[in-house]
A and B are shown apart, each in its own frame.
Chain A
Amino acid sequence: NAGVTQTPKFQVLKTGQSMTLQCAQDMNHEYMSWYRQDPGMGLRLIHYSVGAGITDQGEVPNGYNVSRSTTEDFPLRLLSAAPSQTSVYFCASSYWQGSGELFFGEGSRLTVL
């Protein structure tokens, strides 16, 4: 089983460039979310979605956009990358928003120069 798949695993950007982190899950999960992990700060919620066509902001949404056109995919877009967005990004999904059991991808390490 693939579970939650994130691409790319590593990316280096220059300030001002744009990019999309891809996330796909094959478990028919309703709920999907994006977190960023920074040293000493744990994981912080960027955006989440409770179903196709529905997205909402988390704790640190500024500088990021998301969309959910299908149940399976939940891409995270950086429109104009900044050095402060250097981080490890995790996509996570759960069967429904009330389950609490998140399944995580392996992460995408982004460096913005």
Chain B
Amino acid sequence: AQSVTQPDIHITVSEGASLELRCNYSYGATPYLFWYVQSPGQGLQLLLKYFSGDTLVQGIKGFEAEFKRSQSSFNLRKPSVHWSDAAEYFCAVGAGTGTASKLTFGTGTRLQVTL
């Protein structure tokens, strides 16, 4: 069975600083990987996804993530954080070809942005 680890429970960055959120996955085949964001009191929204091809994927709101098979990682990055990026971020892995919507989520990283 697949699994996802997000080692950082809580991260604080200053507005304008760069951001990297870590995600490690466990999956036997080529993974389908996702990052979702949850604002307070809201449901989750897809930021970006990786299925195949270019290992650096671009998402919405200026986010990007890099798939590194050798490290089983899919870290999320943003060059310059805005106060509105404060939220909880979830990494997820899909069940496989044809069942990518059956997602297993990590425990989340809460991002705080200081002004």
A and B interact physically: yes
Given A41-B107, A42-B90, A42-B108, CB of A94 within 8 Å of CB of B41:
no
| Chain A 87-104 interface 0/1 with B at a Cβ cutoff of 8 Å (1 = within) | 000101010111111101
CB-CB under 8 A for A106 and B101, given A100-B94, A101-B49: no
**Contacts A40-B107, A100-B51 hold; do A48 and B43 have CB atoms under 8 A apart?**
no
A100's partner among B43, B44, B101, B108 (CB-CB below 8 A) is: B101
B30 is an interface residue with CB less than 8 A from chain A: no
Interface size of B by CB at 8 A reads 27
Say whether A66 faces chain B, with CB atoms less than 8 Å apart.
no
- Residues of chain A at the chain B interface (Cβ within 8 Å): 4, 31, 33, 35, 40-45, 48, 58-59, 90, 92, 94, 96-102, 104-107
Q: How far is the CA of A104 from the CA of B9 in the complex (A)?
A: 22
The answer to whether A43 touches B90, judged by C-beta atoms less than 8 angstroms apart, is yes
Asked if A99 and B44 make an inter-chain contact with CB atoms under 8 angstroms apart, the answer reads no
A42-B90, A98-B101, A100-B103 known; 18 new pairs, CB 8 Å cut-off, are: A35-B105, A42-B106, A43-B105, A48-B101, A58-B102, A90-B43, A92-B43, A97-B100, A99-B101, A100-B94, A100-B100, A101-B49, A101-B101, A102-B101, A102-B103, A104-B44, A105-B43, A107-B43
Distance (Å) between the CB of B105 and the closest chain A CB? 4
Instruction: From the candidates B9, B90, B100, B107, name the one contacting A99 in the complex (CB within 8 A).
Output: B100
A33 contact from B34, B94, B97, B101, Cβ within 8 A: B101
Q: Is A100 in contact with B34, judged by CB distance below 8 angstroms?
A: yes
CB-CB < 8 A to B12: which residues of A?
none
Query: Chain B residues with Cβ under 8 A from A101's Cβ?
Result: 46, 49, 101
Q: Which B residues between 70 and 115 are near A, CB-CB below 8 angstroms?
A: 90, 94, 97-108
Tell me if B26 counts as interface (CB < 8 A to partner A): no
The digit string for B34-57, where 1 denotes a CB below 8 A from any CB of A, is: 101000011111100101000000
* B26 → A minimal CB distance (Å): 15
The 7 closest A-B pairs by CB, nearest first: A104-B43, A100-B100, A42-B107, A42-B105, A43-B105, A94-B101, A98-B98
Closest-CB distance, B34 to chain A (whole angstroms): 6
- Is A98 touching B100 in the complex (CB atoms < 8 A)? yes
